[in-house]
Structures are given as C-alpha cells and as structure tokens.
C-alpha cells in the first residue's frame, strides 16, 4: 500500500518563468525525471528535462545486487561486505550470490558448480574463429568478438522472457569466459589452445588453459586462491560504465551474448577496465622511484593521468584496492616480489599526501595493484583487462537478468539538448 507523500517527502519547485509551483514526490532520495515534464511555459512546451552528461547524478535503475558507499569506501554484494566474501567465499559461490540473492547451501552450490564445470567447452568453430585473428591482436578485441560470436551458436538465447533460457545462457557465459580468455592469450603466443579440464576447479582450470605446455600444469594453491579472490573483487560494481552498457544494449531485448559483448567493449577503455593495463605501462615508464617526482609534476600539470587512481563513486579508499594490496604479499611469497611494487607503493604514499590528490579525493582504485599480481602470475599486461572481464561476467549477467525482470524497465533511449542549426533548405552543389 503506497502512502501519500508527506511534505517531508516532496520537492516544491517554483518556475520563475511562470510563477507556477509544482509539488514533486521524493522517493529513495530521488525525484522522477518524468515528473519535471509538467513544468512548461505554455502548452507547446515539451516540458523540463534533466541534463546530465555522463550521468554524474542520475539513477538509471533500481537494483538489489550491489551497494556502494563512496564516501565510506563500502562495497557489499547482496548485503555481504566484500572483505568477508574475499576472505571466506569463492568466486563461483559469489557468482551464485549475485544472481540468486542468497548464499547457496551445499546442495545448491554443488549443482551450480557442476553446471558451470560442464559448460566450459565451446563449439569447435569458435576455436577456428579465434585462430583467424592476426598474431598480435589485442586479447580484449578477440574476447569482445568471440563473446558476440558465441551467441550465434545459441539462436534460442533471444527467448529472454523464458527463465530457463536465461539461466542456460548465464551458465554458458560464466563458464566459457575463462576458455575464451585463455585462448586469446594462447593465440597471442602462437601456442596450441588447451581444452578445459573439468576435473579442476574454475580458477585452476583457467590457469591450466593459460599455462599448460607439454605436461600437466600444477597450479600453486596459494596462487589459485589469490586469483579467485581477484575474481571475487571484480565480480560486480553496480552501475559502472560496462554494466550500464550491458543494461542499455540488453534493454532492446537482444540476446545476452550481444549485451555482454557491449560490456566487454566498454570495459576495454583505459578509463575503465583498461586502467589495470595502463597502470603497469605507467609503472614501467616511470621505471624508478627517483623518477616519481617528475612524473607527478606531469600529472599535476594535466599532462598525465595517475592511472589506477580516482573513481566516480569512491571518494575514499576503494576497499578492493586494500584487499588486493594484501593479496600481493601472498602472491609475492610464492613468485618473488614484483620490482614495480616499490614504485607503486611510493606513488601511493606521495599521492595520498599531495594537495592535488587530496583536494580531488583521488585514491587507489581496484586497478592500481591488480596488475602487479597478474604480472607476477606470468600474465602479460595485454591480458589484464581480460582478467577483469572474467571476474565481471557474473555481475554483468546478474544485472542483465535483473533488468529483464524489472517491470519498470523499457528500451533505454535518452533525450538530448539539440545544439545544431535551425531548419534550412537544401542548396544545390553549384551554389555552395
């Protein structure tokens, strides 16, 4: 039963152009943009819209999946703090949680893991498709294309209103991401593709498909655990750029493979998931701790970006960066310390004490330290964003699944402020 909004739950707007006042309900800290359309100067007036480039202050949906508090540096999946999930859960259990809203019991988890494990293979034509890329194709370009191509093998995936069809595609997308990601890596090395080994855990299987050559690959359990934690940390992050792309493309009722391919494309950008690759290139370019002051002057002069720093939502430490920094110690205990760590730690120390960064509330984000771990695992920088995509797949499909079932959602189609020329007549070429 909806209660009538009290004064405390309404906004009174006075349009000074007409002297008219309007009462607009407030709910969940928002007003409905469409409630502004009634504010007109005359009947011919379209009515007021909001103008919000890059959606700096616009809620696009209602979601129960992930909660962020940017000022407090809080991240929760379905109410569970990321710190507890990273310490106590597994990536596939977190994927179940994101999709179903509750942690699975042992029977549910067993069934879920079996379903994922039994769908790690892809059609043989996908293998030949991936062999068609140039030898030096960027793995994200290969992943983006392969995910889109995957949808052509499951024509019934467009039956998105059928929960059983949605469930099957969700299983396939989560299960096949590591296979496609590992094969993109193997293609870039000119090495034969390694098929999934369904006797291994999800993350172990990924490492084997990446690194097995000539003999059975035995992954160090400490490295498997560290990578599983990294996947957990990347699993979802509410309405980030790539998830918004998945939701927007999915709102046209296209199949989920095409929607997720749009997410992979958005993630590819250096301001988003591509930042982890850019961080490593930045650290290599800085080269030594002694070069940091000159680099920082370039950042403050606006000639550089301190990649891996800053966030649209977190105006405090990204809680994921804290966990990843700790995971570095576990990985380096096995692999040896990545020499770039000292540059990253010194960069962070200087930045956190520099007015430029303090004033702009710029802190390390999820991408600042993750690349150091990936590199220590033997994964090249070109593959870092593929790692992000594998981790983010459960979040993308959970958000897509939520959007499909949201009765309020329709095809996503923003308006614009037109700034072009007024109507004018065609001019014959001889008169131009």
Q: Which DSSP state fits 193?
A: P
Helix (H, G, I), strand (E, B) or coil at 4: coil
Q: Can residue 306 be called a binding residue for ligand SDX (CB under 6 A)? A: yes
Cα dihedral sign, 44-46-48-52 = negative
Q: How far apart are CA 393 and CA 398, in angstroms?
A: 8
Interface positions, 251-270, toward ligand SDX (CB under 6 A): none
Query: How many CA atoms within 13 Å lie on the side-chain side of 173?
Result: 34
**Tokens standing for 266?**
């958005």
CB of 222: closest distance to ligand SDX in angstroms? Answer: 25
Q: How far apart are CA 286 and CA 302, in angstroms?
A: 16
Sole binder of ligand SDX in the list 65, 226, 227, 366 (CB under 6 A): 366
Q: Can residue 247 be called a binding residue for ligand SDX (CB under 6 A)? A: no
Interface positions, 214-243, toward ligand SDX (CB under 6 A): 237, 240-241
Query: How many CA atoms within 13 Å lie on the side-chain side of 37?
Result: 6
CB of 285: closest distance to ligand SDX in angstroms? Answer: 14
x/- binding map, residues 308-337, to ligand SDX, per CB under 6 A? xxxxxx------------------------
Closest CB to ligand SDX among 222 and 281? 281
**What is the total count of residues that contact ligand SDX (CB under 6 A)?**
22
User: Which residue in 223, 210, 218, 234 sits closest to 379, CA to CA?
Assistant: 210
119 counts as catalytic: no
311 counts as catalytic: yes
Which of 138, 255, 311, 318 is catalytic? The answer is: 311
123 counts as catalytic: no
Note the residue count of the chain.
432
Sole binder of ligand SDX in the list 260, 307, 372, 393 (CB under 6 A): 307
Q: Can residue 59 be called a binding residue for ligand SDX (CB under 6 A)? A: no
On the 0-12 / 13-18 / 19+ scale of CB atoms within 10 A, 6 is exposed
Q: Which residues is 76 bridged to in the sheet? A: 67, 81
Q: Can residue 299 be called a binding residue for ligand SDX (CB under 6 A)? A: yes
Sole binder of ligand SDX in the list 40, 305, 315, 326 (CB under 6 A): 305
Taking a C-beta distance cutoff of 8 angstroms, is the pair 384, 276 a contact? yes
Q: Can residue 348 be called a binding residue for ligand SDX (CB under 6 A)? A: no
Closest CB to ligand SDX among 223 and 299? 299
Closest CB to ligand SDX among 240 and 401? 240
Which of 228, 255, 318, 367 is catalytic? The answer is: 367
User: Which residue in 91, 267, 87, 105 sits closest to 174, CA to CA?
Assistant: 91
Which of 35, 197, 272, 330 is catalytic? The answer is: 272
Taking a C-beta distance cutoff of 8 angstroms, is the pair 151, 175 a contact? no
User: Which residue in 146, 165, 358 sits closest to 257, CA to CA?
Assistant: 146
In which element (H, E) is residue 212 found? none
Determine the interface stretch with ligand SDX among 171-179, 327-335, 336-344, 362-370 (rule: CB under 6 A). 362-370
Which residues have a catalytic role annotated?
A: 272, 311, 367
Q: Which residues bind ligand SDX (CB under 6 A)?
A: 237, 240-241, 271-273, 275, 299, 305-313, 360, 362, 365-367
């Amino acid at each position: 039963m909806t209660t009538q909004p009290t004064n405390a739950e309404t906004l009174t707007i006075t349009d000074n152009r007409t002297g008219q006042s309007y009462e607009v309900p407030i709910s969940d800290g928002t007003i409905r943009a469409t409630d502004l359309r009634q504010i007109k100067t005359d009947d011919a007036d379209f009515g007021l819209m909001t103008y919000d480039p890059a959606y700096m202050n616009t809620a696009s949906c209602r979601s129960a999946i992930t909660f962020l508090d940017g000022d407090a540096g809080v991240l929760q999946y379905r109410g569970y703090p990321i710190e507890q999930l990273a310490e106590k859960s597994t990536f596939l259990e977190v994927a179940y949680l994101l999709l179903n809203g509750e942690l699975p019991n042992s029977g549910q988890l067993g069934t879920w893991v079996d379903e994922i494990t039994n769908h790690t293979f892809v059609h043989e034509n996908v293998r030949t498709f991936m062999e068609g890329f140039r030898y030096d194709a960027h793995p994200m370009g290969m992943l983006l294309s392969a995910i889109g191509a995957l949808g052509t093998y499951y024509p019934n995936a467009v039956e998105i209103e059928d929960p059983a069809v949605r469930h099957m595609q969700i299983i396939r997308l989560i299960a096949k991401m590591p296979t496609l990601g590992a094969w993109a890596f193997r293609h870039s090395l000119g090495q034969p593709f390694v098929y999934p080994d369904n006797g291994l855990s999800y993350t172990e299987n990924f490492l084997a498909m990446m690194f097995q050559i000539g003999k059975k690959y035995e992954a160090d359990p400490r490295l498997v655990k560290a990578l599983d934690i990294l996947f957990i940390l990347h699993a979802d992050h509410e309405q980030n750029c790539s998830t918004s792309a998945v939701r927007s493309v999915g709102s046209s009722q296209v199949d989920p493979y095409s929607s997720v391919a749009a997410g992979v494309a958005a993630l590819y950008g250096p301001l988003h998931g591509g930042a982890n690759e850019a961080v490593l290139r930045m650290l290599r370019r800085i080269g030594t701790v002694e070069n940091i002051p000159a680099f920082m002057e370039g950042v403050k002069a606006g000639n550089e970006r301190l990649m891996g720093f800053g966030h649209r939502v977190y105006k405090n430490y990204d809680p994921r960066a804290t966990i990843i920094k700790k995971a570095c110690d576990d990985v380096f205990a096995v692999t040896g310390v990545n020499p770039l760590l000292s540059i990253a730690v010194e960069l962070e120390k200087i930045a956190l004490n520099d007015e430029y960064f303090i004033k702009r509330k710029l802190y390390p984000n999820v991408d600042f330290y993750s690349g150091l771990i990936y590199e220590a695992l033997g994964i090249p920088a070109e593959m870092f964003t593929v790692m992000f995509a594998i981790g983010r797949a459960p979040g993308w499909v959970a958000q897509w699944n939520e959007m499909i079932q949201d009765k309020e959602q329709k095809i996503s189609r923003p308006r614009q402020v037109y700034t072009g020329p007024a109507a004018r007549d065609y001019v014959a070429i001889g008169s131009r």
